[in-house]
Amino acid sequence: NPNLTLEFRIEPYSEQQFLVVVRDVSEVRRLENMRTQFVSNVSHELRTPLTVMRGYLEMLEPNSVNPAIWPRAHRTLTEQSKRMESLVNQLLTLARIESGSQFANHELIPVSELLSLLSDQCDSLICERELKLSYDVDEGLEVFGNREQLLSAILNLSSNAIKYCETPGEILISWSQTDTGSEFLVRDSGPGIEPVHLGRLTERFYRVDDARTRDAGGTGLGLSIVKHILAEHNSVLEIESTVGFGSCFSFELKKPVAEYKESSTDLPIR
Ligand code: ADP
C-alpha cells in the first residue's frame, strides 16, 4: 500500500531479546503533510501581493518618483492590499469554523431576509458588467441555521458565479421548497468546469486555472469555507457543470426534525 507509512523501533526486552515495535503513522504523516502544504500555500499567496506592493513602493521613492506612475501605483496598491485583506479574512473565517466556536446560534431565518442581504452585495459585485441576475424564491420559506454563516455560503457561491461568468451572461439564484426542507441553487451561463476538477474544488487553495482565477480576485478558499459551513448544517455542496454551458452549485437544508415529523403524514407522532 503506497499510502502506508510504518515506523519501526527496537526496544530491549530481556538480556538476550529485543522487541520490534511497528507503528502505523500514516495518518500522522498525512496531517503533517497537509499542515506543511497549507503553510506553504498561505505564504505563497501572501508573498505575491507583497512583492508587487514592494515594487511600487520602491518606485514611489520621494527623490526619484515620476508623478506619471501615481495613478497606476495607487490602483495597484489598493487592489493588492484588498487582495491580502480578503485572504486574511477568509483564513480567519476558516480557522473560526474549524474551531467550531461559531455555530452556537442556530435560529429560524426567513429566506427572504438572507436573499435581500445577498442581492445588495451581488448588485455591487456586478457593477456595470453585462450580466442578467434573476431570483426565484418560494414565498414564506424559512430555514434553520446560523445567519452569518449561511449568508457567507450563499454569497461565496453567488459571487463565484458573477466572477467567472463571461459577459453577456445569465445567473439564476433560486431557493425552493423540497419534501424534506429547502434547496438553494446558483446556476450560471459561465465557462463551466472540466469533470476532472469537480471533486477537488472544495480543497483549500484549489483553483481550476490559476492565472485566470487570480485575475478574477480569487483566493481558492471560498468553496472550502462553503463546504465547512454546510457540514455544520448537515448538508453537502452539489456541483454540476458542463464546459461551454455553465455551472450549477446547490445544497439542501433539511427541516428541523420536529417540524419534519409534524408535517409528515407517514410518521404519526404519539
Ligand atoms: P476562488 O476564490 O478562487 O474563487 P473558490 O474556492 O471559491 O476559490 O473556487 C475554486 C475554483 O473553482 C475557482 O478558482 C474557479 O476556478 C472554480 N469555480 C468556482 N465557481 C465557479 C463558477 N461558477 N464557474 C467556473 N469556475 C468556478
Ligand 1 neighbour 226 (Cβ under 6 A): no
Please tell me the number of Cα atoms within 13 Å of 102 on its side-chain side: 22
pLDDT 10s digits, 32-52: 888 888 888 889 889 989 999
The whole-model pTM stands at 0.81
User: Could you give the angle at which helices 70-99 and 222-232 cross, rounded to 10 degrees?
Assistant: 20
User: d(Cα 131, Cα 158) in Å, to the nearest integer?
Assistant: 12
Is 202 within 8 Å of 237 (Cβ atoms)?
yes
pLDDT of residue 267: 45
Ligand 1 neighbour 143 (Cβ under 6 A): no
pLDDT of residue 102: 58
Q: Which atom of ligand 1 is nearest to the CA of 246?
A: 24
Among the listed residues 157, 150, 155, 158, the one whose alpha carbon sits nearest the alpha carbon of residue 134? 158
Pocket-testing residue among 89, 164, 171, ligand 1, by greatest number of atoms within 8 A of Cβ = 164
DSSP state of 256: P
pLDDT of residue 269: 41
Q: ω before 71 within 30° of 0 (cis)?
A: no
User: d(Cα 91, Cα 104) in Å, to the nearest integer?
Assistant: 20
pLDDT of residue 270: 34
pLDDT 10s digits, 53-81: 999 999 888 888 788 889 999 999 999 99
Ligand 1 neighbour 223 (Cβ under 6 A): yes
- Which residues of the chain fall below pLDDT 70? 101-104, 210-217, 257-270
196: which residues sit within 8 A by CB, 6+ positions away?
A: none
User: d(Cα 270, Cα 267) in Å, to the nearest integer?
Assistant: 9
